Chains A and B, each alone.
Chain A
C-alpha cells in the first residue's frame, strides 16, 4: 500500500488527474489520482491516511516548487485538479469523521476587489494540505467574514487584495474582526501588501505565497 500512497503523491505533485489525461506526458497511460484514490480505498486505506500520506505530500512539494519559481500557475492548477479529483472520494468520509482534518480556514477576496486567482491558489493549496476550506469568494465584507467565523469558531481567516484601492477595505475588515474577536487569527496576502502592512493593520501574518499560508496554519494547528 505504501507504493500506492507514493504513486498518488506523485500524481498530485505532477498533476496527473486520471488515466486518460494526456498530462504529464511522462505518466502517459498510467493510473491517475482518480484511479489510485479508489484503489487505496478499496484496499482499506482510511481517508485520513490518504490525505496525510499522499495528498499533503504532493501538494507540499508543488507548493515549495511554486515558491521557488520552479513551476508556475498552470502546474499548480493541474495539481489542484488532481487533488480535487481525489477529494471527491474522501470528502464524504471526512464528513463522517471530522477529526481527519487539521483545521478550518475561511478565505475571501476583500470587499470591492474581484481578483481571485491568487486567492483560489491559496484555497486549493490549503485544502490539499489537510484543512477544510470555506471559500467566501470575492468582494467579501467584514460582516460576511464574521458570520462565517461564527459558524467556525476555531477557523483562521485569510483575505486577499490585489489593488492598492482595496487595501483600505482590508484594513477596515481586519480591524472590525479583531475588535469583535481579538483572538481570531487573521492572515493576509496579495500583490501590493507586505509584512509591514500586516503589522500596521493588526493582521497576524502576511505570506507572499500559498505555501507560506500552509506553514502559518500548520504552526497555528500544532
Chain B
C-alpha cells in the first residue's frame, strides 16, 4: 500500500496498516533538518505522507525593507515576526466593498509546482492548500478589531466580503481540480485558548454559509476536505462534519481531550496533529516527547489519525526532541513490518555528529 493509499484508508475511517504521519517545520528547524539529512526536500527523509501543493499563505513581494505585499495587496510588516508578519494597516478602511481589489484566482504561481511535485513524489497524498481561507483573509484586509465590530455594526458588508473571498477560493479550487490531487486543505484560525474568538452564533451566521459552499465545491468533485484551525474549536465539529469536512488539524492537546474526541469521531472525521506544541515539544525532555508520541500512535492505531506535532515545529523545540518524534513515527513496529524497513537511529546519529565536532 502506498503512503497515498494509507491516508485514503484513514480518511475513509478504515484501519490503516500503521499510523501515517506528516510533519511541517518553520524556517529555523527546517534548516537544522536539511543540514542533518543533507537534503533540501525533507518529505522523503521524514517519510511524510502528505504532499503540500499550491501555496498556503500565497505569494509576497518585498516592496520596501521588511514590508511584504500579498496578492490581495495587504502589506505585512515583517520587521519582528519574520514568518508572516502583521498587516501594516487595514486595506479596507470603511465598511464597503466599493473599490476593494481581488486578485486573479487562477494566478499561475498557485499551480506551478503541482505537476513537478507529484512527479517527484508520486506515492504521497496530494493536498492543495488554501491558507487565510475566510476569516483570516477578511481580517487581514479589514483589520481584526474592525471586522469583529462589523459583525454587529455592518453585517451586510461582512457577508459580502466573505462571499467574495469564498468565490475567489472556489475559483482557485476549480482550477486545482484540473490536476490529479486528492484533497483541499483550508487554513483559518477561529479559536482562542478557551472557546471561539467570536462565538458559535456569529460563526454560524457569517462563516458557515461560505464554508458549506467551499467544502461542497471540493466534495462534489469526489475530493477530500482537510482544515487547520488553531484553538478550542471542537464545538464546531458536528457542523463541520455536516458541511463535508474529512480531516481536522492541529488537534491541540492543551485545548481538547484527544483521547475522548478521536474515538467519538472515528469513521466520520479524522485528526492530524496532536503532539503538544505549547508544552511537551518546547519544554519537555526527549523521554516526554517519546511517551506522548507513543500514546498518540496507540490512540490512532485503529484509524482516524495522522500523527504530527500540533503545528509547524518552531525554533524553541530542540533538535533532540524533533528527532525523537520522527524516530518514534518511523520505527513503529507496524510500519517496519509493512514496509520491511530497518529501524532508524536518528538520535544516535545526532549524538555522533555532535561528539565528532
- Known interface pairs A191-B192, A192-B278; A78-B199 also in contact (CB < 8 Å): no
Chain B residues with CB under 8 A of A73 = 148, 192, 197-198
Looking across the interface, which residue of chain B has its beta carbon closest to that of A118?
B192
A9 to chain B, nearest CB (A): 19
Q: Is B144 an interface residue (CB 8 A)?
A: yes
* Cross-chain pair count, CB within 8 angstroms: 63
Q: Are B149 and A81 in contact (CB under 8 A)?
A: yes
When chains A and B are docked, how far (Å) is the Cα of A120 from the Cα of B148?
14
Encode contact with B along A168-210: 1 for CB under 8 Å, 0 otherwise. Answer: 1000000000000000000000011000000000000000110
Considering the chains assembled together, what is the distance between the CA atoms of A97 and B301 in angstroms?
68
Find out whether the CB atom of B316 lies under 8 angstroms from the CB atom of A165: yes
Q: Contacts A21-B153, A164-B316 given: A72-B198 contact, CB under 8 Å?
A: yes
Q: Which one of B86, B149, B196, B202 contacts A77 once the chains associate, using CB atoms below 8 Å?
A: B149
With A69-B195, A81-B149, A114-B80 already in contact, the answer to whether A164 and B144 are too (CB < 8 A) is no
> Is B242 interfacial (CB 8 A cutoff)?
no
Q: In this complex, what residue of A is CB-closest to B144?
A: A117
Question: B285 contacts the other chain (Cβ, under 8 Å)?
Answer: no
Q: Which residues of chain B in 160-201 are interfacial with respect to chain A, using CB atoms and an 8 Å cutoff?
A: 192-199
Which chain B residues lie closer than 8 Å to A78 at the CB level?
149, 152
Q: Determine which of A22, A71, A120, A191 lies in contact with B153 in the assembled complex, contact meaning CB atoms within 8 Å.
A: A22
A69-B149 contact in complex given A117-B144, A164-B278, A164-B316, C-beta closer than 8 Å: no
Q: Cβ of B86: which chain A residues have Cβ within 8 Å of it? A: 114
**Complex CA distance for A69 and B233, rounded to whole angstroms:** 13
Restricting to A1-43, which residues have a CB under 8 Å from any CB of B? 15, 21-24
Report whether B81 and A114 are in contact in the complex, using a CB–CB cutoff of 8 Å.
Answer: yes
The distance in angstroms between the C-alpha atoms of A202 and B81, with both chains bound, is 27
Q: Of residues 233 to 269 in B, which have CB atoms within 8 Å of A's CB atoms?
A: none
Return the chain A residue nearest B193 by Cβ.
A191
Residue pair A139, B278 in contact (C-beta under 8 Å) = no
> Across the two chains, which residue of chain B brings its CB closest to A15?
B152
B282 surroundings in chain A (CB, below 8 A):
164-165
A44 CB-CB contact with B under 8 Å? no
Does A112 lie at the interface of the complex (its beta carbon under 8 Å from any beta carbon of B)? Answer: yes
Q: Which of A74, A138, A191, A208 contacts B149 (CB 8 A)?
A: A74
Is the beta-carbon distance between A74 and B151 smaller than 8 angstroms? yes
Contact indicator B152/A208 (Cβ below 8 Å): no
- Complex-state Cα separation, A75 to B197, whole angstroms: 11
* Complex alpha-carbon distance, A49 and B132, angstroms: 46
In the bound assembly, the distance between CA atoms of A71 and B151 in angstroms comes to: 13
**B314 at the A/B interface (Cβ < 8 Å)?**
yes
- Are A77 and B145 CB-contacts (below 8 A) given A22-B153, A191-B278? yes
Q: What is the distance, in angstroms, from A74's C-beta to the closest C-beta of chain B?
A: 4
User: Contact mask A76-94 → B, CB, 8 Å, 1/0?
Assistant: 0110010000000000000
Residue among A21, A72, A81, A120 making CB contact with B196, cutoff 8 Å: A72
B72: shortest Cβ distance to chain A, in Å?
Answer: 20
Beyond A21-B153, A117-B144, whether A208 also contacts B202 by CB under 8 A is no
- Within the complex, which residue of A21, A77, A112 is in contact with B148, where a contact is CB–CB below 8 Å? A77
Q: Which residues of B contact A164 (CB under 8 A)?
A: 277-278, 282-283, 314, 316
List B282-324 residues whose CB lies under 8 Å from chain A.
282-283, 314-316
Beta-carbon contact of A74 and B315 below 8 Å:
no
Supply 8 further A-B pairs (C-beta < 8 A) apart from A72-B197, A75-B152, A208-B193.
Answer: A21-B153, A69-B194, A73-B148, A78-B149, A164-B278, A164-B316, A165-B314, A191-B193
17 interchain pairs (CB within 8 A)? A23-B152, A69-B194, A72-B197, A72-B202, A73-B148, A73-B197, A74-B149, A77-B145, A78-B152, A117-B145, A138-B80, A139-B80, A164-B282, A164-B316, A165-B316, A191-B192, A209-B194
> Top 3 A-B pairs ranked by shortest CB distance?
A72-B199, A23-B152, A74-B148
Residues of B within 8 A of A (CB): 80-81, 86, 144-145, 148-149, 151-153, 192-199, 202, 277-279, 282-283, 314-316
A contact set with B: CB distance below 8 Å: 15, 21-24, 69, 71-75, 77-78, 81, 112, 114, 117, 120, 138-139, 163-165, 168, 191-192, 208-209
